[in-house]
Chains A and B, each alone.
Chain A
């Protein structure tokens, strides 16, 4: 997957979690949590969805890597390179 595809994937998962999420003013480098009102359960949903869709196993210690859109893409890029 390209960086843009990964970004779209994350946004699509977030949209499934919260259909009212507003991406218009979303800044890629700032924490998702503050901008979209996501809580720790929402991040768990993202982890579970990534495992379901792409068989990705993200250890709990790596959850902080999912903080912003940019950090998500950086973290997932090598893991999703062959998909």
Chain B
């Protein structure tokens, strides 16, 4: 069980601020390397955006819609066998929009067949496209955009662009105008074997991770909001938290990269060159979600696990972000997702802009939130005609909700655009002992990206601490 702050000692080898999947993994790796680690989390619950909440007997998962198969290898190497064994495939991915309706296992084999037979794309083009995206690396040329990539292989085929792009826009907030590598790397990860989920839910995953950290001797404190990272003579000295000063030669911030620089360390700690790069960072979009709990006795037909739905005539990155977007995903959680729990829950997710919501008056905010729920029910009715009678819990989250819970700048759901990665990765060269982990650069976001980035940063921290 995590402690309250008064149980923490005054001095550690490393302090990790924030318990998102990136922070948790960095803490795990550093304790494994023999360091004395303190993990401080602002919220009462660990996990960051990998979170869940309970209402009237329902458990809602916020960010458990799907991740690539790579999670198996990653969890096996950096977490535990038990965690690895709970990863299961979501076999039925559905697309339904005015251009096409289809069901797929979302892997290379099935996509190849679909592109060839349904979309009439020549086999050689498909093979060349897959080879191109599979060969993409994050250090490659970033001048080509995803739009240009699609136009090169599938010119004028807005239907194919939609099939290829829509899921990735939901998965990492990238648009047609982001570097093609941010698309290609994530898309190839999924195409490897399809879409996977964590059986037992997010609460089970975070519970197992917490136990593992405790076994490794990490001190974990919740309800512990760090107010400041103390920097002296160009080096980190520790943190201020709950009126206390706790010292460490290395501090890893899992708070957003923009929050870390602007609010926690403060601009004074950095050179003007570095600040210029930091100021140019664009944060990614935020999200809206509608959480729907069905009555205990209510059963619904299996219509697929993940439904990418839209009534917009063609795919358009900005339509997906609109306050009144006609595009949303439905994640359907059947009782099999949580063995031992008999409920069906549905979570509708949309991408959304923070500014569209934060500028509303309180009355307008409530009205828009209600309208969001109503639009969602209209859309859901197309798949489950009698759904309204079966519902016994309805609630919505907006970008303001995400901002309140994670403190992230403008409630960002997927960290920053590509330029955030270089700033995050080089921050310790600016301020000795200061590191950042967490969603950056599009590719280092999502459950898999955040965990792997946690390992990469732990290696940097370990190298630094051992060189002191």
Contacts and interface: CB of A to CB of B under 8 A. Distances in A.
A47 B452 CA distance: 15
A44 interface: yes
Interface stretch (B113-121, B225-233, B382-390, B455-463): B455-463
B455 A57 contact: no
A52 B452 contact: no
B34 interface: yes
Contacts of A44: 455-456, 459
A51 B455 contact: no
A48 B452 contact: no
Interface residues of B, number: 14
Interface string B44-77: 0000000000000000000000000000001001
A45 B29 CA distance: 10
Given A17-B77, A52-B33, A41 B466 contact: no
A41 B455 CA distance: 8
Contacts of A81: none
Given A41-B74, A41-B452, A41-B455, A48 B462 contact: yes
B462 A51 contact: yes
Interface string A46-75: 011001100101000000000000000000
Given A17-B77, A45-B77, A51 B463 contact: yes
A64 B260 CA distance: 32
A45 B466 CA distance: 16
Interface residues of A, number: 10
Contact of A52 (B34, B77, B456): B34
A45 B33 CA distance: 11
A17 B78 CA distance: 10
A7 B467 CA distance: 26
Contacts of B466: 51, 55, 57
Contacts of A41: 74, 77, 452, 455-456
Contacts of B463: 51, 57
Contact of A47 (B29, B34, B74, B459): B459
B189 to A, nearest CB: 11
A57 B29 CA distance: 17
Interface string B426-461: 000000000000000000000000001001101100
A48 B34 contact: no
Interface in B8-34: 29, 33-34
Contacts of A45: 77, 455
A52 B34 CA distance: 8
Which interface residue of B33, B452, B456, B459 has the most chain A CB atoms within 10 A? B459
A52 B467 CA distance: 12
Contacts of A57: 463, 466-467
Contacts of B29: 48
Interface of A: 17, 41, 44-45, 47-48, 51-52, 55, 57
Given A44-B459, A52-B34, 13 more contacts: A17-B77, A41-B74, A41-B77, A41-B452, A41-B455, A41-B456, A44-B455, A45-B77, A48-B33, A48-B459, A51-B33, A52-B462, A57-B466
27 contacts: A17-B77, A41-B74, A41-B77, A41-B452, A41-B455, A41-B456, A44-B455, A44-B456, A44-B459, A45-B77, A45-B455, A47-B459, A48-B29, A48-B33, A48-B458, A48-B459, A48-B462, A51-B33, A51-B462, A51-B466, A52-B33, A52-B34, A52-B462, A55-B466, A57-B463, A57-B466, A57-B467
Can you list the 4 inter-chain pairs with the closest CB atoms, starting with the nearest? A48-B459, A52-B33, A44-B459, A57-B463
